Amino acid sequence: MKRFYIIAIISCIFTIGCFDLDIVHYVEPKKDRSLFIKFRVTSIYFKDQTDKKTFNNDVIKGNLPDEKDTQVTYQWIQNDLTADVEITTTAKPHSTISATDKFPVIPYRDKFGQYIFIYHNYQELGSSQNLFDSQKIAEGLLAASKYRLAFGNTVPKQALIIVYREQPEKFNLSIYQLGNIYCIDIPMNLIIMNESAVIVSCASTINDSEISNYLTKLLEKRKEEEKKT
């Protein structure tokens, strides 16, 4: 299944056993209802990469929504300690839930005006004890890595993450302000090692029924597919 390019980067980090990974995901609604988005991944791992030709605009844009008004730019940023992959795009939010495994750089906006980021389990599902143990270890290591959602030009009032492990769990997320930016910090293990979704609302309440139902059906489907392999 075709996936957003950043998943290939994350998978590569898993493969070499490096869990030093931070993501900043900035979202700014515009007057024309489009979103300005800056998505930045930082890791020590990138420091050692020499083949930067694999990170290019054509590959990245090819995995974003196929819309004429979608603009994408890519930048490689390197310093003495780390290197960053930075993606900048301007696009309309999704009007329907995407059924693909693409990493949600562009969020879904539901009928309540909530911004929803759906994160699929990017590790293969499995029932073996060895895989279960390795996922538990990976979750522990990834818990120290940070995924930061940041919002500009809007004031989010509520944020919630729904995590599907053996059963659904819901956690309220703290929102804090840095100047004119509102930030939400999420442990990386919750969004990469599980089926999960983050809901950000600019109202005083959150409605999670649509996304909860979607995640339940998705997880059931994945488990059925796993039994066939």
pLDDT for 20: 66
The residue-averaged pLDDT of 45-49 equals 65
pLDDT for 132: 44
219 vs 57, higher pLDDT = 219
pLDDT for 72: 79
- Residue 115, CA distances (Å) to 56, 58, 151 in order: 28, 27, 11
* Pairwise CA distance, residues 23 & 84, whole Å: 9
* Pairwise CA distance, residues 215 & 58, whole Å: 31
pLDDT for 110: 96
* Mean pLDDT, all residues of the chain: 78
**pLDDT at residue 103 above 80?**
no
Residue closest to 107 by CA, chosen among 175, 169, 184, 197? 197
Beta bridge partners of 36: 28, 90
The residue-averaged pLDDT of 108-123 equals 88
Domain hosting residue 74, numbered range: 5-228
Residue 221: partners with Cβ closer than 8 Å, 6 or more residues away: none
pLDDT for 38: 95
**pLDDT at residue 73 above 70?**
yes
156 vs 42, higher pLDDT = 156
* Pairwise CA distance, residues 107 & 127, whole Å: 31
pLDDT for 192: 78
DSSP state, residue 45: G
- Assess contact for 29 and 154: CB atoms under 8 A: yes
pLDDT for 1: 34
Q: How many domains does the chain have?
A: 1
pLDDT for 68: 57
pLDDT band at 201; cut points 50, 70, 90:
very high
In degrees and rounded to multiples of 5, residue 26 shows phi and psi of: -100, 130
Per DSSP, the residues of 124-160 read PP---HHHHHHHHHHHHHHTTSEEEEEE-SS---EEE
pLDDT band at 30; cut points 50, 70, 90:
very high
